Every structure is written in C-alpha cells, then in structure tokens.
Amino acid sequence: MSPAESKKQQSFFIVYFKVLVVVLFLTLLVPGYLLLIKPERSVYQQNKALFAENERDLTQKNARLLEYKKVLMSYKNISPDDQEKIAEVLPYDPSEANLYVNFSSLAEAVGAQVEGISVQLGEGSAGQRSEEELIQEKSASAGQATNGQLKTALANFELSGISYTKTKELLNLIENNLRILDVKSFKFAPAEGNLSLVMQVYYLK
C-alpha cells in the first residue's frame, strides 16, 4: 500500500471515528434526557407552579386577615348601643326567645295570627352535609378570624288569617328585618288563609 493510500485510509477512519463518537453521544444523551433530566425538569416546573400558587394564596389570606383585624378594631371602637344593634343582626346564640318576639311582631304588623313557631338547631339530615357545615368549611378555608363560628338554625313560622296582599307585605318585612332571615320555602293556602314559612336564621357560637 502506497503512502498516499495509507494516508487516505487513515483520514477515512478518523472521519468515521468522529461520526461514531457523535452517534454514541446522541445515543446516550437522548435516553438520559428522557429518563433523567426531563422527569426532574417536569417535577421542578410543577413544584414551581405549586409554590407560586401557595404564595398567592398566602398573600390573599394575609390581606383578608388584615381586613378582619381592621373590622375587629372598628367594632371595638363603636359605641355599646351600636354593638347591641349588631348583636341583633347576628347574635352570639340562637336567641330563640327573641325570635318568637320578632316573629310575633311581624305577624302583628300584617294583621295575621300566629299558629305556631318552632326552631330547629343544626340544619341537615343523616347522610347529608348541613349548610352549617358548608358555611364553617368556607369560613375556615378563607382563614376567617372571628371570636365565634357561624351557625344556622331552621325556624318554622305558621300563620292564619292572612291574604295574598298580607303575604307579600310579610315577605317584604322579612327581607328588611333587622335580624337576617332567609326564606327557604313557604306554603300558602289562600282559601284557608294559612301560611307556613321555613326560614334559616344565623347566629354565632
């Protein structure tokens, strides 16, 4: 073999070796990226997104907490008379006696007769989550800072001697009542002049 042919053959092997090195490098790099780097990068991106979401959530909760503290400070600075009015809107107990007085005054205002008043604490039946539990869950998830937990009760209010016009007037009075009352359902029998209301009331405990 002549020196020229030998040199040409060596050049061919060198080029072939370089190509082989590149192929081997890519062969190792691609599986390494897919098996090692890509999963770790995906986990990093997920953790980064979760951290950012938690940071936003923490910022929102801190802002709410600051608002609640401002409300609490404002509440402490108001007069005892105004605090008493607030307690009428959202008392710290069911105040069943006050409910009876409140309902009786509503009936008297429209000229109807009270046939029955009953209050049932803790709305909800077996196997179902009560609305009270849902309210507590929302309050806890929002980081609500209060001295009491929001509770609910169901009040049944039965009237007689009431007409359609008086029923509309009564519902308007309930809507503007000082203590918060939510009408859940009602049954009106115009022929007999009877009305049955189921209302949800709120209190702190």
Give dist(CA 102, CA 82) in Å, integer. 19
Q: For 85-204, which CATH superfamily applies?
A: Ribosomal protein S6/Translation elongation factor EF1B (3.30.70.60)
What integer pLDDT is reported at residue 9 of this predicted model? 54
Q: Among candidates 170, 180, 182, 158, which has minimal Cα distance to 95? A: 180
Q: Among candidates 167, 156, 158, 161, which has minimal Cα distance to 115? A: 158
What integer pLDDT is reported at residue 107 of this predicted model? 94
Q: For each of the chain's 205 residues, which pLDDT tens digit applies? A: 555 555 555 565 566 666 677 776 667 666 666 666 667 777 777 777 777 787 888 888 788 778 767 766 766 676 777 666 666 667 777 778 888 889 999 999 999 999 999 988 864 333 344 444 544 544 443 344 345 577 888 999 999 999 999 999 999 999 988 888 899 998 999 999 999 999 998 887 7
What are the sequence ranges of the domains in the chain? 1-77, 85-204
Contacts of 94 (CB under 8 A, 6+ apart): 119, 121, 151, 153, 201, 203
Contacts of 166 (CB under 8 A, 6+ apart): 110, 111, 112
Give dist(CA 113, CA 132) in Å, integer. 31
